[in-house]
Amino acid sequence: MTTTPEVEEEETEAAVPPTPPKRRITWQKLTFLPAALVAVLLATWLWFNQAHLDAISKNALSNGQVSKALWRHVQLTVISTFFVLIIAIPLGILLTRAAFRKAAPVAMTFANMGQATPAIGLLALLVIWLGTGEKAALIGIIIYAVLPVLSNTIAGLKANDPTLLEAARGIGMSPLGVLAKVELPLAVPLILAGVRTALVLNVGTATLATFGGGGGLGVLITTGITTQRMPVLVLGSILTVSLALLVDWLASLAELLLRPRGLEAGS
Amino acid sequence: MSFWEYLGNRHQQLLTDAYQHASAVFQCMVVATLIGVVIGVVTYRSEWAGSLATTATSTILTIPSLAMIGLLIPIVGLGVPPTVIALTLYGLLPIVRNSIVGLRGVDPSLVDAAKGIGMSRLARLMRVELPLAWPPILTGIRVSTQMLMGIAAIAAYASGPGLGNEIFRGIGSLGSKNALNQVLAGTLGIIVLALLFDAAYVLLGRLTIPRGIRA
Amino acid sequence: MPEPSASERSASEPGTATSGASIELENLTKRYPGSADPAVESVNMEIKAGELVVFVGPSGCGKSTTLKMINRLIEPTGGRIRIGGEDVTDIDPVKLRRKVGYAIQSSGLFPHMTVAQNIALVPKMIGWSKSRIRNRVEEMLDLVGLDAGEFQGRYPRQLSGGQQQRVGVARALAADPPVLLMDEPFGAVDPITRDHLQDELIRLQHELHKTIVFVTHDFDEAIKLGDRIAVLRERSHIAQFDTPEAILTNPADDFVSGFVGAGAALKRLNLTRVRDVEITDYPTVTVDDPLQNIFDKLRDSGTNEILLLDKRGRPYKWLRRGDMMRAKGSLARAGTLVSDTVTRDATLRDALEAVLTDNAGRVAVTGRRGEYTGVVDMETLMNSVHELLEADRLEAMEAQHELEEARALQTHAEQEGVGGEEKA
């Protein structure tokens, strides 16, 4: 009994035909959100151009205060996210190593308690301790975002199939090799999701920086509320929301682009 | 004045604030859960509907809470209304997402088995799918509640109820002797509330999750 | 005479170097903290270079644990391991594993890497040049029967279970290790695919002569693949370590015979080919022969029937006396069509099946191009099987006898010093 023709049969019948590689970034994803944002911002700008703003409002919006607030907000977000990544991801890796496995639940409990803390309270306490300004705000934002990234990193690494890791060791990868070539790439989707959450969270927490004198778009919102000027309030809110949505959209693109190829759909 | 003295002096005010804080969060959680589970039940069977629901509610979540409140004030004014609306909206995503994931995660062979023994659609939903999806939904409720605790604090800035007021009093009097006490009282109060709610959820889970599927 | 076993064959074929390495396990033990009994206790085994040894045993007997101690995925708590004569118990485990191929049940392919990247992993870690790796990947895919051009860039999730296993084997062999460890590699695929994969492994082994240690709980798989089989009981104690034939015909104790299960004789039939037994010759005629000759032959033959061959000499119809009469002299309508044939490569099991389904109790044997070469009937089959089983029994008894003699000599030597041997 020859086996070759049967082997060919087996392959053509049982093989899953390779799907044509789906374009990872569909044109809808590429254009929908930015278009919506542009439309909203345009509408806002047009409205402001024709609106009759009184002196107080004009004051709040003049002298490039808006762009200053916007720029400061972006700064806070980016710097804090950077620090969150270099703290939370290595910590997550460390806590999933065999030696530290027992420390993981303890660390997670601490982090969970941290999450129960209201951001505004945390910021206020830091301001009392460190004084007003950017530093307190940054530290507060960083602490607040460490948990989601940490928990996602740990979850992502734990979710890796142990037989795959054993296979990696079995074919002769060093422990570092297993981490770098197998564990981390496979955990990337979850880690990226955590990073995306952190980024958006940071934009949000950065709005509270105003309460500690840290600047940012929250200034416009609080000014609007205290002076009871709706235009200022609304402008601050719209800009904040737009920034948050923009950051989320960019992060979702990054998620799609950086996801390892073999793990798409059905995994 | 030390922290304990401060607590002693102001305990009436603090308890009132705490009660209002908890009550606001609790009521909004209930509403959010009801709406969220309904959305989940309605959309989980279709790919696009589920995605739409998840994306829509997650978009809400990307909006910073202060900005959301800021947008609501011109529409509904200050005080309780913007707080309630914001809390309910924010509470939706974890519930919707976990409902959809939980319902979709029910082993299809179990649903078939239920069909096979003659259960109607509603019966299947109520007696098989929802109970099996309940653990992830409960997790969603826990996550949501924690989140709302923090957001409620911010809502106090727009004259909303709750312990946030205490924190803002402290911020408002930065530099004074009582500032730290006030901020600490407000913050710790919220943490305690969050932990209490969490413990209640764990208990709820023990009581309502059948032993057979307890993690 | 039964075919020589694989290891004998490789020794007798000139110029076929064994690329495998011998493996020695000395008092290998594994104890887990908190357990009273060791998981694996004092395993002593010598595996020859180029041999395919199968570990078979019930679940929990520790066969996988023992296998994983060979490449030290599980570190032994006692004993020594020697590969190719070299003691590897204490060397750097990572280096060791790069020299030992490892294939597991779920194929263990990394989903985020392409087939080519998976196969290239170990050569890359060892430091081969890019071009050498590229060639090797193609060579390996070819070796396991997959088209290199088509499969190189695919991801594991785009492959069927059987294909994934093949790639898993290709990856294990990529760096040309002298030893290959396989832990129930065919357990997760359907029976038909498993059959094909087993045939492929046999073919591979004939080509490469690696030393393979194969773990399975399926005794039929063990018989099909193994040069020698180690039947393991709890704590990996060796109940019997011998050729499949010996185990089938002479199980060492009740445990082994229980494991072999019923139908040892039938299973034995799987190990012998048609070419190894006596094939009788039947009188034949061809379609071109004049009718009168056919009549004569029918009348004169000692048998009840003759075999009608077609123009190319292939078995066409069975003709019995009276068939011609009944068909009123028309050859086209006479006789019964030949329903099934077997080749000389077929196992006796296949032959038995063919003989049983044909209610006249015989089957025609054909050669490479389907031409008639003989007939196997029930009587021949039964006689051959009895001869085989007898021969096996004798061989096993002889081996036992030799073993006892050697032991006796050794005991004498130990008791009375070197001179004792000569006395004995």
Tokens found for residue A33? 């959100």
Nearest Cα to C80, choosing from C51, C38, C42? C42
Model pTM? Answer: 0.68
Residue A171 has pLDDT above 80, yes or no: yes
Number of A–C residue contacts, CB under 8 Å:
106
A262 in contact with C, Cβ within 8 Å: yes
Contacts of A167 in chain C (CB under 8 A): 102, 104, 108, 110
Question: Concatenated DSSP letters for chain A?
Answer: ---HHHHHHHHHHHSPPPPPPPPSS-HHHHHHHHHHHHHHHHHHHHHHHHS---HHHHHHH-TTHHHHHHHHHHHHHHHHHHHHHHHHHHHHHHHTSGGGTTHHHHHHHHHHHHHHS-HHHHHHHHHHHH-SSHHHHHHHHHHHHHHHHHHHHHHHHHTS-HHHHHHHHHTT--HHHHIIIIIHHHHHHHHHHHHHHHHHHHHHHHHGGGGGT--STHHHHHHHHHHT-HHHHHHHHHHHHHHHHHHHHHHHHHHHHHS-GGG-S--
Strand-pairing partners, residue C183, are C104, C215
pLDDT at B54: 82
pLDDT at C275: 78
Q: What is the 3-state secondary structure (H, E, C) of C293-331?
A: HHHHHHHHCCCCEEEEECCCCCEEEEEECCHHHHCCCCC
Least confident of A198-207, C336-345, C414-423: C414-423
pLDDT interval class at C418 (50, 70, 90): low
* ipTM field: 0.79
Interchain CB distance below 8 Å, A120 and B195: no
B73 in contact with A, Cβ within 8 Å: yes
Tens-place pLDDT, residues A33-88: 888 888 888 888 888 877 777 777 777 677 678 888 889 999 999 999 999 999 99
Which range is most confident: A2-11, B10-19, C13-22, C413-422?
Answer: B10-19
pLDDT at C108: 85
Q: What is the mean pLDDT of residues C256-274?
A: 77
Cα C219 to Cα C262: distance, rounded to the nearest angstrom = 12
Contacts of B170 in chain A (CB under 8 A): 124, 128
3-class state of residue C226 by DSSP: coil
Q: What is the mean pLDDT of residues B8-28?
A: 90
Higher pLDDT, B212 or C81: C81
Compute the half-sphere exposure of residue A148: CA atoms within 13 Å on the CB side of its CA: 19
pLDDT interval class at A102 (50, 70, 90): confident
pLDDT at C130: 92
pLDDT at C12: 39
pLDDT interval class at A19 (50, 70, 90): very low
B60 in contact with A, Cβ within 8 Å: no
Q: Degrees (nearest 5) of the Cα angle A92, A95, A101?
A: 150
Instruction: Indicate the residue of C71, C113, C196 with minimum beta-carbon distance to A6.
Output: C196
Percent of chain B with pLDDT strictly greater than 90 = 21
Percent of chain A with pLDDT strictly greater than 90 = 13
pLDDT at C167: 93
Tens-place pLDDT, residues C128-163: 999 999 999 999 998 888 888 899 999 998 999 889
Percent of chain C with pLDDT strictly greater than 90 = 23
pLDDT interval class at A5 (50, 70, 90): very low
Cα C347 to Cα C85: distance, rounded to the nearest angstrom = 38
Higher pLDDT, C8 or C156: C156
Higher pLDDT, A199 or C417: A199
pLDDT interval class at B19 (50, 70, 90): very high
Query: In sequence order, what are the residues at sequence separation of 6 or more whose Cβ sits closer than 8 angstroms to the Cβ of residue B40?
Result: B53, B95, B96, B98, B99, B100, B102, B103, B137
Tens-place pLDDT, residues C30-85: 999 888 888 898 899 999 999 999 999 888 888 999 999 999 999 999 899 999 88
Q: What is the mean pLDDT of residues B113-131?
A: 84
Least confident of A179-188, C25-34, C328-337: C328-337
Residue A189 has pLDDT above 80, yes or no: yes
Instruction: Indicate the residue of A172, A262, A267 with minimum beta-carbon distance to C94.
Output: A172
B194 in contact with A, Cβ within 8 Å: yes
> What DSSP designation does C283 have?
-
Instruction: Indicate the residue of C71, C156, C163 with minimum beta-carbon distance to A11.
Output: C163
pLDDT interval class at A27 (50, 70, 90): low
Residue A98 has pLDDT above 60, yes or no: yes
Direct distance between the N- and C-terminal alpha carbons of chain C, in angstroms, rounded to an integer: 35
pLDDT at B25: 93
Matching residue, tokens 């599980």: C74
pLDDT at C18: 55
pLDDT at C11: 40
A238 in contact with B, Cβ within 8 Å: yes
Compute the half-sphere exposure of residue A102: CA atoms within 13 Å on the CB side of its CA: 1
Higher pLDDT, C141 or C422: C141
Cα A232 to Cα C270: distance, rounded to the nearest angstrom = 88
Strands C86-87 and C238-242: unpaired
pLDDT interval class at C361 (50, 70, 90): confident
Direct distance between the N- and C-terminal alpha carbons of chain A, in angstroms, rounded to an integer: 38
pLDDT at A25: 56
Contacts of C72 in chain A (CB under 8 A): none
Contacts of A217 in chain B (CB under 8 A): 67
Whether the CB-CB separation of C50 and C57 falls below 8 Å is answered with no
pLDDT at C329: 67
Tokens found for residue A197? 């959450």
Interchain CB distance below 8 Å, A244 and B170: no
Cα A205 to Cα A145: distance, rounded to the nearest angstrom = 9
